[in-house]
Structure 1
Amino acid sequence: MKKMILALTLAGSVLTLSACSAGSSTVAETKDGNISQQDLYNAMKTKIGPQALQQLIYEKILPKKYPVTDKELNAKVDQLKQQLGSNFPAAIAQYGYKNEDDLKKTMKIGMMEEKAAMKDVKVTDKELQDYYNNLKPEIRVRHILVSDENTANEVKQKLDAGGNFADLAKQYSKDTGSAANGGEIGWINKQTEGQLDPDFVKGAYTLTKPNEISAPVKSQFGYHIIQLEEIKPKKPFNEMKSEIEYDVKSSKLTSDSITKAMQRELKDANVKVSDKDLQAAINLNPQASQGSTPSGQ
């Protein structure tokens, strides 16, 4: 998904703008003068008014044509959690979200925009089949990471002699985070593969049977001893076709194609903005990026 996280959270700002516009009560006092609600509203309107209005407009015009279910939304959040792991809370805070619910509100709008843009994307049966043919099964692995090949061979010999993988991970592994959990890395799949070292992933996929242990695998971090714990074979093509079609279409989306789709939706909804200072909310720039993510996707 191209818009997994928007770089700026507007939900709180939208609420503040709405509240501030109602009156002129004082919100701050200084010996040199007071600041009214209207002052605050005007300042926020200048800084983020068009973006905030745009979010409110999208919340009105998109849900009926491009509904996003709680199941779809939760699946995307779970996918993001899987990608970011223990960094999830810090990452969403870095991007300005107060909590997971705050993230979901903005993410839902991004998913509706994506659905609108996907309507214009065409894919062929060959593209879908090729994607399926290149799709790897999901595997769950653990590893022991050491600095040099001699130590890696030593660990491998101990494992071959019946040594306990979890115990040896705690004893030897430089990856202290996974070592505390017996070397657990978790599932490698199309969502998480890009977060891992390519040489590590390649080595992990040489294993074909549960409990099989690799020879030392060299990566930029050192030498890994990898154990395959579980494998999920691919489902038949027909059972995965909808998911594959989504993935292939999503991979073709660009910020320009999303912007063009939103231009179409704004026109179809006959949206008009009376305040000239907020016209940018509907005067979209096809060259402007529609959002960014911690992972760059």
Structure 2
Amino acid sequence: MKKLRYIAFASSLFLLAACNDREEEIIVTSSLGDITKESFYDEMIAIAGPSMIEQVVTKMLLEDTYSVSDEDVEEELDVLKQSYGDTFDQTLEANGMTEESLRQNIYFSLLRDTAVKESGKTFDELMYDLLEEHDVQVQDEALQNVLDKYTQPIEK
């Protein structure tokens, strides 16, 4: 009988531990309620998902073959700083950007330009080829159609 109790107790502990693993991770707490990682992800997908996933996939594909140096990014940033002069910081703030987010935008823009120039293809042609070559599949249902514009062969 004792053996049966121990088995039942151990099974209960195991089930409780398994249930705790499924508990959603809370990333923000407040008197209004909690925000879980899952609800944050869902909200992020609803707001910025399509453009964000497109940019992340594009960056991943392009960085596999093409590169942009930090010096090139800084050079472009310096041109913008000189162009805007004393209003540079205010312009960033007005556009909801930081200097670091601007650097990332410059990097991505230069990466796209470099890829198009070096491949001799249009950006859409290049993306079509890279998506096919690397068999990219979007797994999240809400984002299934994000890359559709690149999945049809380009008419020449």
Q: TM-score normalised by the shorter chain: which range applies?
A: 0.5 to 0.7
Given residue 106 of structure 1, which amino acid in structure 2 is its aligned partner?
N
Deviation at 1:80, TM superposition (A): 1.4
Given residue 112 of structure 2, which amino acid in structure 1 is its aligned partner?
E
Given residue 86 of structure 1, which amino acid in structure 2 is its aligned partner?
D
2:67 alignment partner in structure 1: 67
2:46 alignment partner in structure 1: 46
Q: Name the TM-score, length of structure 1 as normaliser.
A: 0.38
1:92 alignment partner in structure 2: 92
Distance 1:76-1:23 versus aligned 2 partners, 3 A rule: farther
Secondary structure of residue in 2 paired with 1:62 = helix
Distance 1:47-1:72 versus aligned 2 partners, 3 A rule: same
Deviation at 1:260, TM superposition (A): 4.1
Deviation at 1:48, TM superposition (A): 0.9
Kindly report which structure 2 residues correspond to 1:1-297, keeping only aligned pairs within 5 A, or say none. Answer: 23-25=24-26, 27-30=28-31, 33-97=33-97, 99-118=98-117, 119-120=119-120, 257-284=122-149
Deviation at 1:108, TM superposition (A): 0.9
Deviation at 1:109, TM superposition (A): 1.4
Structure 2: runs of 5 or more not aligned: 1-22, 151-156
Deviation at 1:68, TM superposition (A): 0.2
Q: Distance in 1 between matches of 2:95 and 2:127?
A: 23
Q: Distance in 2 between matches of 1:48 and 1:93?
A: 20
Secondary structure of residue in 2 paired with 1:46 = helix
Given residue 114 of structure 2, which amino acid in structure 1 is its aligned partner?
K
Deviation at 1:273, TM superposition (A): 0.9
Q: Distance in 2 between matches of 1:26 and 1:117?
A: 40
Q: Distance in 2 between matches of 1:79 and 1:56?
A: 26
RMSD: 2.6
Given residue 95 of structure 1, which amino acid in structure 2 is its aligned partner?
N
Distance 1:68-1:24 versus aligned 2 partners, 3 A rule: same
Q: Which runs of 4+ in 1 moved over 6 A?
A: none
Q: Distance in 2 between matches of 1:41 and 1:52?
A: 12
Q: Distance in 2 between matches of 1:283 and 1:95?
A: 29
CA contact (8 A) 1:263 1:282 kept: no
Q: Distance in 2 between matches of 1:85 and 1:269?
A: 43
Larger strand proportion of the pair? 1
Q: Distance in 1 between matches of 2:89 and 2:129?
A: 35
Deviation at 1:41, TM superposition (A): 1.7
Deviation at 1:39, TM superposition (A): 1.8
Deviations 1:92-111 (A, max 9, x none): 223332x3222112221121
Secondary structure of residue in 2 paired with 1:281 = coil
Distance 1:280-1:93 versus aligned 2 partners, 3 A rule: farther
Secondary structure of residue in 1 paired with 2:148 = coil
Q: Distance in 1 between matches of 2:95 and 2:65?
A: 28
